[in-house]
Structure 1
């Protein structure tokens, strides 16, 4: 009886952990303004929109959980140039990701503007 209860509790805990890591939340700071950007799993990475950060950066999170061999959280930062956006930072993290004690699964990241000397900071966590 006790063994059955322990197995049920363990299964519920594992299910809760799987549910808890079903999205990515990135904490982005630029020019003194902070915002949270969330991403849910997508079937295709090609339709994930960018989010404008200030007047210069574009930020994009792609969370792909299937197929298993392609499962990853990818973070892209673009410079919004006159002609077209230019990628200036890309990071890929295997999924599911394990959060660290501080600054989630990415650690604190900094991306610098190539023209204006500004700095974007971000860190992302699995939820």
Structure 2
């Protein structure tokens, strides 16, 4: 009887413990300002919307864990387009999942991307958060 009570308490505590959601967090620096954007796993590699970074960049994180053979993290940087034009891709990076953070700049290392028309620079690095 006592073992059943102990087991019930352990199960209840485990259920009450917060579960950390695994996310990809990217640290983006543009124009001297840094912001962090995060993405939880997505159900489809076609989901996810780009985030505007300053006046000239868009940044998109696609984090897919299932199915296992397609699990990966894709990062896209686009140059903003002029009115009526589609954004121009300027970088695409792909990392098979799972990834490991390595040192100060996560799993991507420090990346520098340049916008062709306005000669703007975006720096970023991404890390895994949670477990």
Mark yes or no: TM-score above 0.5.
Answer: yes
Structure 1: tracts of 5 or more residues without a match: 1-18
Alignment map for 1:1-127 (pairs within 5 Å)? 22-82=22-82, 83-127=85-129
Deviation at 1:30, TM superposition (A): 0.4
Structure 2: tracts of 5 or more residues without a match: 1-18
Give TM-score scaled by structure 2 length: 0.79
CA RMSD in angstroms comes to 1.3
Counterpart contact for 2:47–2:62, Cα < 8 Å: no
Equivalenced residues, count: 109
Deviation at 1:47, TM superposition (A): 2.3
Counterpart contact for 1:21–1:126, Cα < 8 Å: no
Deviation at 1:21, TM superposition (A): 7.6
Counterpart contact for 1:76–1:91, Cα < 8 Å: yes
Counterpart contact for 1:108–1:122, Cα < 8 Å: yes
Counterpart contact for 2:64–2:71, Cα < 8 Å: yes
Alpha-carbon distance in structure 2 between the residues aligned to 1:66 and 1:46: 13
Give TM-score scaled by structure 1 length: 0.82
Structure 1 runs, 4 residues or longer, greater than 2 Å off: none
Larger Rg: 2
